[in-house]
Amino acid sequence: MSGEREARLWFAQALADLDTARDNARSHPDAACLMAQQAAEKALKALEAPGPNHGRCRPQAP
């Protein structure tokens, strides 16, 4: 898998996790915090994906 493709996949999953966090913020705040933390980690993984822009890429939402 190319670095750019890997970065986009990680970033897409981060956005999905963030949506889940928002959806659960009122009804399940503990779960929402966990999902927000997971989203942050996945967004960082997107930035760390190998490739020509390693450490500098700014993935766009798919």
List pLDDT tens digits, range 17-34: 999 999 999 999 999 999
Pull the structure tokens for residue 19. 């949506």
Please tell me the chain's helix, strand, coil percentages from 3-state DSSP, rounded to the nearest 5: 70, 0, 30
- Residue 27 has a pLDDT of 97
Pull the structure tokens for residue 2. 């190319």
- Ranges of the chain with pLDDT below 50: none
pTM of the model: 0.77
- Residue 23 has a pLDDT of 97
Place of tokens 């493709």: 5
